[in-house]
Structure 1
Amino acid sequence: MLLAVPDSAIAAVAGALLGAVGERHVVLHLSGRLGATALAPLASSGAGLGSLHPLLSFADPAAAPARLRAAVAAIEGDERGRAVARTLAVCIGLTPFEVAAAEKARYHAGAVFGANFLVTIAAVARRVFTQAGVPPEVAAKGLATLMAGVLENVTRDGPAGALTGPLKRGDAGTVRANIRALDPPEAELYRVLSRATLDIAGLDAERRAAIERALDE
C-alpha cells in the first residue's frame, strides 16, 4: 500500500488504516523528509513499514513518468518495507538507494538545495538581468541555455570541474564590481553564495584572501 499524501497527513491516514492492514501488508509513504516512524500508528499491525522517495521534480506531473527511468529513489524502513520499496522502485525504472532514518531530513535538505534553490537562483538571475536592461524574453532564453550547459558540465566534470567565473579565477576586482552593482538583497545573496563557492574554487591562500576581503567590504 502506497500513501501519496502530504507529510502532515501521513500519521492520520496511517491511523485510519489501523484494522484494515495486517501482517500480509506493506505500507510505504512517499515523503522525502519523514521516515517509517511517520507510520507509527500501524506499528502494532504487523505490516511492513517504509518510505520510498523518488528524487525527482514533479512540477509537471504529465512529464514525470518519462523521467522516472533516469532517476534514483531513497528507500528506508524495516526489512520488509525496504525490500518492497526496492522492488517497486526497480519495477518503475528507478535506481534505489538506502538512507538511514536519522538522515532523512538531511537528505531532503540536499534535495531542496538541488531543486528548490536552483529555481530561486534562476528567479534572482532573471531579475538582475532585467534590472540591467536585458529584455525579459532574452533573459529567459539566455539563462535557460546557460543553466543547461552548467548542469551538463556538473554531470560530466563534478562541481569543482564545472566551476568557472570570477571566483574560480580569483578575480577580486570583478567580485567587488558585481556586488557594488547589485541592490542590497541580491548583493547579500551574492556574498553568501560566493563564500560557499570558495570552498570548491581551489584558490591559493593569497587569492582566496583577496576574494574574502572583497566580500567583506
Structure 2
Amino acid sequence: MEPWLIVGAGRLGLQLARGLSQRDVPLAGILCRSPESRANAGKVLPEQLLLDADDPLPVVARVLLAVRDREIEETARALAPGLASQAVILHCSGALGPAVLEPLAQGGFATGVFHPMLAFPHPLEPPVDFRGAVVTLAGHPVAVAAARELAQALGMLPVEVSNLTWPLYHAAAALAGPLVYALLQAAREELQRAGFPAEKAPQAVANLAKTAAEHAHRAGGWGFLTGPLVRGDWETVRAHRSALQPEVRAMYDAITAFTRARLGRELPLEEGEREDE
C-alpha cells in the first residue's frame, strides 16, 4: 500500500493516524497545523511522523484531508504542487461531496470522499475502534479504490455512493451523531433535576441509549419502539411535558410529533381524538 499523508491533527486526523499506525499501514506523516495539535500528536504518535506547516513535505501519492469544510479546497490547492503526479486526494467531509475538489480533479488528481460515520472524541482519548463502522466513499474510480483499500485496512465497511444529496446525507448523520449526543446530555440533566444520583446518571442514560440503538438496528424500522406513546399513556406524556425544562420540552414535543406522524394509525388515539373516517 502507498503511504498516506494525513493533513490535520484534530479529532479525526489524529484518530485516523493512530488507527492506521496500529495496523501497520504506511504513513508518510501527519501535518499538524497548530501548536496545540502538534503537542497532542506528539503524545500518541512517533516524533518522526509529525510535520509542521513550514516543514518540507514528502512527495506522496496518497493524501487524506482531515480539515474543516471551509478549508478543504484551499488546503488541497496549497499541497498540490508538491504531490506526485496523478496523486489521490481524499477529504473527510460528509457535507460537501467530491465537487469541492473539482479544481484539483481538473488538474489531473484523483479526488474523492472518505467519510467515516463515527463520532470522534478528543484526540487524546483512547483510540477509536474503526472495525465494522461504515465509511462513505465517493469520487473518481481511482480515488474510490484507494479509499476502499484504506477502509479495509481499518476494518471498516465501505459504502460506495454516487449522486448523493450531500447536505441531506450529512444532516441525517448529524441526527444520529452529535444531535443524539446533545439529546443524551438533556436526558442526563433532567434525570439529575428529578433527584437521580448525579454520579449514576451518565451510565443510566448511556445504557438506555445503547439498548434503544440496538433495538432500532435490529428492527430496521419502528417495530421495537417502546414508551408511553406506543402504549397510549397520554396522561404520562402530559406529565412529562409539565416536568421538563422549556428547551427540553421543545425537543420532546418535536420528536413526539415526528413519531406520531410516522406511525399514525398504529398508535392508540389520545383522549378526545377521533380517527378519520
Query: TM exceeds 0.5?
Result: yes
State the match for 1:38 in structure 2: 100
For residue 126 of structure 1, the aligned residue among 188, 213, 219 is: 188
Which aligned pairs between 1:1-217 and structure 2 lie closer than 5 A?
1-21=63-83, 23-61=85-123, 62-65=125-128, 67-201=129-263, 203-204=265-266, 207-208=268-269, 210=270
Rate the CA distance shift 1:46–1:128 in 2: closer, same or farther, 3 A.
Answer: same
Instruction: Could you list the structure 1 runs, at least 4 aligned residues long, displaced by more than 6 angstroms after superposition.
Output: none
Cα separation, 2, equivalents of 1:169 and 1:69: 37
RMSD: 2.3
Q: Which amino acid aligns with 1:154?
A: A
Task: Give the drift of 1:181.
Answer: 2.0
SS in 1 for 2:205: helix
Rate the CA distance shift 1:212–1:29 in 2: closer, same or farther, 3 A.
Answer: farther
Cα separation, 2, equivalents of 1:57 and 1:182: 28
Matched residues, percent identical?
A: 36
Q: Is the 8 A contact 2:119 2:178 kept in 1?
A: no
Relative to its length, the structure with more helix (as a share) is 1
Cα separation, 1, equivalents of 2:204 and 2:80: 53
Task: Give the drift of 1:43.
Answer: 2.9
SS in 2 for 1:163: coil
SS in 2 for 1:162: coil
Q: Which amino acid aligns with 2:134?
A: V
SS in 1 for 2:147: helix
Task: Give the drift of 1:42.
Answer: 1.4
Task: Give the drift of 1:158.
Answer: 3.1
Q: Which runs of 5+ in 2 are unaligned?
A: 1-62
Deviations 1:98-150 (A, max 9, x none): 23354222111111100111111111111111221222113223222222222
Cα separation, 2, equivalents of 1:212 and 1:86: 56
TM (normalized to structure 1)?
Answer: 0.85
SS in 2 for 1:136: coil
Q: Is the 8 A contact 1:23 1:48 kept in 2?
A: no
Cα separation, 1, equivalents of 2:148 and 2:272: 46
Cα separation, 2, equivalents of 1:59 and 1:211: 45
TM (normalized to structure 2)?
Answer: 0.68
Q: Which runs of 5+ in 1 are unaligned?
A: none
- The answer to which of 110-119 and 98-107 deviates more is 98-107
Cα separation, 2, equivalents of 1:158 and 1:16: 44
Q: Is the 8 A contact 1:55 1:71 kept in 2?
A: yes
Rate the CA distance shift 1:142–1:41 in 2: closer, same or farther, 3 A.
Answer: same
What is the aligned length?
210
